[in-house]
């Protein structure tokens, strides 16, 4: 009927249809197998009855029927196994077809992305980015140097004062006893200042006496 309506089935639809047909065939084989097994059971009972009744010829004929029935059952089992193998192959083809369709879509998407990518423009952007990054790094280094120049002397003075203070503290602790026993250099000018006025007064007194 495809030619009448002008609709052509896709490979996926054909695979799905064949899969349904194979499953239906396996169900029919299972039904036939079960029917033959029931018939075999019934024939065995009939053979027992005939043997009890002494009907040996009838029992032999029915025994041949059981042999043929078992052969049919075995063939049906083999047919079902073959159908299952074919069904598995169809399922594999279906999965492969789905994977191929997915890969086709991905390939098209990748092709569009590659077509949209302008490599010269991207390289230019990356070069400009690298250039601007280097300029930014240079400016940052210059700013750091400037800040160090402005704040570096104060930091050095603070560190120097701290170091001198530590040294003086250590020297003061170690020389306290010695400095107590030795007259300081500052005491000499004081003594000289004390002697100077007395000498001046004495000189004036001598002058008055002479007058």
What are the pLDDT digits (tens) for 140-177?
888 877 776 666 555 556 666 677 667 667 666 444 44
CB atoms closer than 10 angstroms to residue 25: 15
What is the Cα–Cα distance from 31 to 145, expressed in whole angstroms? 94
Are the CB atoms for 40 and 18 separated by under 8 Å? no
Task: Report yes or no on whether pTM surpasses 0.85.
Answer: no
pLDDT tens digits in sequence order for the chain, 211 residues long: 454 555 677 777 777 888 888 888 889 989 998 999 999 899 889 888 888 888 888 888 888 888 998 899 899 899 989 988 888 888 888 888 778 888 888 888 888 888 887 888 888 888 998 989 888 988 888 887 777 666 655 555 666 667 766 766 766 644 444 444 445 444 444 444 445 555 665 665 566 556 5
Give the pLDDT of residue 154.
55
What is the Cα–Cα distance from 25 to 18, expressed in whole angstroms? 11
Task: Write down the number of H helices and E strands in the chain.
Answer: 5, 0
């Amino acid at each position: 009927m495809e030619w009448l309506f002008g609709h052509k089935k896709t490979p996926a639809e054909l695979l799905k249809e064949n899969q349904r047909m194979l499953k239906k065939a396996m169900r029919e084989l299972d039904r036939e197998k079960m029917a033959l097994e029931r018939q075999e059971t019934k024939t065995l009972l009939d053979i027992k009855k005939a043997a009890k009744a002494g009907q040996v010829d009838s029992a032999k004929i029915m025994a041949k029927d059981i042999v043929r029935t078992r052969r049919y059952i075995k063939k049906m089992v083999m047919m079902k196994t073959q159908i299952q193998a074919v069904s598995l192959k169809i399922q594999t083809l279906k999965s492969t077809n789905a994977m191929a369709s997915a890969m086709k879509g991905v390939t098209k998407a990748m092709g569009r992305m590659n077509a949209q990518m302008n490599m010269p423009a991207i390289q230019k952007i990356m070069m400009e980015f690298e250039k601007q990054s280097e300029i930014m790094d240079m400016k940052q280094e210059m700013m750091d140097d400037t800040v160090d120049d402005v704040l570096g002397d104060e930091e050095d003075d603070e560190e120097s004062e701290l170091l001198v203070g530590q040294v003086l503290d250590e020297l003061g602790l170690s020389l306290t006893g010695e400095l107590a026993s030795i007259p300081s250099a500052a005491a000499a000018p004081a003594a000289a200042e004390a002697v100077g006025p007395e000498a001046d007064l004495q000189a004036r007194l001598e002058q008055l006496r002479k007058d």
